[in-house]
Structure 1
């Protein structure tokens, strides 16, 4: 059982619910909340990612009863929506309206606010979720993230056995360190900025990178000459299906690789929220080089959650 006592043995109360708490980003959000003395309540689907020192609840975002229990006593929710369809979120939104917490929603910088339909299914679900939360008058604080640096973990198996990373080429984006996104989220969740600005806050890294750029920077961190080789959509599809990824997710990723326009947008919104400039992908690669090392035998953390922003 987690330690839920505070100073002088008084019970500590969780007031912040973190969804997706066992994922790459969710873990970082929990770490930052804890570093500020907060006790987040962490929601996970199966309980396999539990760790000591925090309050864990097992439940599914699409289960109204589970969410009703998870939201009890909660003032603020950090919401990561993991599905490629916003329709199942209607029951969740009803529970949020009934419980009345502030909602901080993780979305995508790829959203085009002027477009009737978004470029691909992943971006569309984020646009639909934003619209659903606003229509319910929840006034979500929207954090739109660019491509997360942690997505590079999807290349671990290839880098451990060779110097070529192959996959579908993607639009160049301002890749952002998930630790910076977590820092921005924690600042909002804890109210550590001037006001509850609904946003959207556009969280980017300091430079625009393509897949080849990221692979080369990983090579520099590892002291190796790595290179990226783009493969055709059909081959990329068959490989991802062969890896066991769900067909619907694979099709969404292929659509993102072929339809999403490139973005040259770099913002200072990470620094506005955290007080620190966004870190570079080169720094992320150095900090995580051991995960890609040929001598590492432990399985890496999962690289992708469905509907990850900015992918």
Structure 2
């Protein structure tokens, strides 16, 4: 059987692909950045140019696909239900959907599709810390508007849970809240990063409007930027409450932020000039 993974070179999509390949599954990796795929995806994955936000690129990609991993991005609000309909018509029989932070049109369409489905509801990604790379390397600072606890989840654990739900029984019709093993404030995560790097890293508080403007400058729509920053300003209780879903599904502990830092600390290091 073949699984189509949308957003395959994204934060979580690449981990879904890697886990499926590790398990010996046939994977079709849909990405709008096929040139980047070689560096991000295992060579066994069949890379298909395209994006799930443009359903005209999907018909060929869906041929012969039995399972689908779908990321509910903002661009799918209008076209998502049609995408799900086409997937089911093409023969897809099991879908995992990574939610967009709430149960919207895409998530609802998957639940009403008539096929087997699992919804993944992760809280804040550990990889959000990668937005700190430039300021940490250049100035030794992290600029954020809030310092609230967050049960950040490793994106690799999200990918692993998706793979289990796609391949194994017992997960149909489930909505899985996914967190890491502990809730950490922004200041605590910055302090952990500083300790790993062996040099001071300071948390500098910025205003909510400055945070919104920063996202807009990075190409995020004003509405989406307001939504993201508003979520961080007043997160739901689930965002700061660790749960054991990852451990129950995977049969191992969820990876910690310390684990994530060990994997990514080199990206925060200041490049050294050759002598």
TM-score, with length taken from structure 1:
0.78
Question: Is 1:235 the counterpart of 2:210 in the alignment?
Answer: yes
Map 1:1-311 → 2, pairs under 5 A? 15-51=2-38, 52-83=43-74, 86-101=77-92, 102-107=94-99, 123-124=101-102, 126-169=103-146, 171-191=148-168, 194-263=169-238, 264-295=240-271
Q: Take 1:128 and 1:90, find their aligned partners in 2: how far apart are those partners?
A: 7
Q: Do the aligned partners of 2:53 and 2:76 also contact (CA within 8 Å) in 1?
A: no
Give 3-state SS (helix, strand or coil) of 1:172's partner.
coil
Shift of 1:158: 0.8
Partner deviation per Cα, 1:4-37 (whole Å, 9 max, x = no partner): xxxxxxxxxx611111101121111211111111
Shift of 1:178: 0.9
Q: Take 1:142 and 1:103, find their aligned partners in 2: how far apart are those partners?
A: 8
Moved more, 243-252 or 208-217: 243-252
Moved more, 281-290 or 216-225: 216-225
Q: Do the aligned partners of 2:119 and 2:175 also contact (CA within 8 Å) in 1?
A: yes
Q: Take 1:201 and 1:241, find their aligned partners in 2: how far apart are those partners?
A: 30
Q: Which runs of 5+ in 1 are unaligned?
A: 1-13, 108-121, 298-311
Shift of 1:170: 6.2
Root-mean-square deviation (CA, aligned residues, Å) is 2.2
Q: Take 2:101 and 2:123, find their aligned partners in 1: how far apart are those partners?
A: 11
Shift of 1:268: 1.4
Partner deviation per Cα, 1:53-77 (whole Å, 9 max, x = no partner): 3211112223334222111111111
Q: Take 1:296 and 1:30, find their aligned partners in 2: how far apart are those partners?
A: 33
Partner deviation per Cα, 1:209-250 (whole Å, 9 max, x = no partner): 222222111112111232322211122223333344433332
Shift of 1:92: 0.4
Q: Take 1:93 and 1:184, find their aligned partners in 2: how far apart are those partners?
A: 21
Q: Do the aligned partners of 2:8 and 2:31 also contact (CA within 8 Å) in 1?
A: yes
Q: Do the aligned partners of 1:290 and 1:296 also contact (CA within 8 Å) in 2?
A: no
Give 3-state SS (helix, strand or coil) of 2:8's partner.
coil
**Which structure has greater helix proportion?**
2
Q: Take 1:95 and 1:218, find their aligned partners in 2: how far apart are those partners?
A: 45
Shift of 1:131: 1.8
Greater RCO structure (CA 8 Å; 6+ sep): 1
Give 3-state SS (helix, strand or coil) of 1:17's partner.
strand
Q: Take 1:238 and 1:153, find their aligned partners in 2: how far apart are those partners?
A: 18
Give 3-state SS (helix, strand or coil) of 1:200's partner.
strand
Q: Take 2:154 and 2:170, find their aligned partners in 1: how far apart are those partners?
A: 24
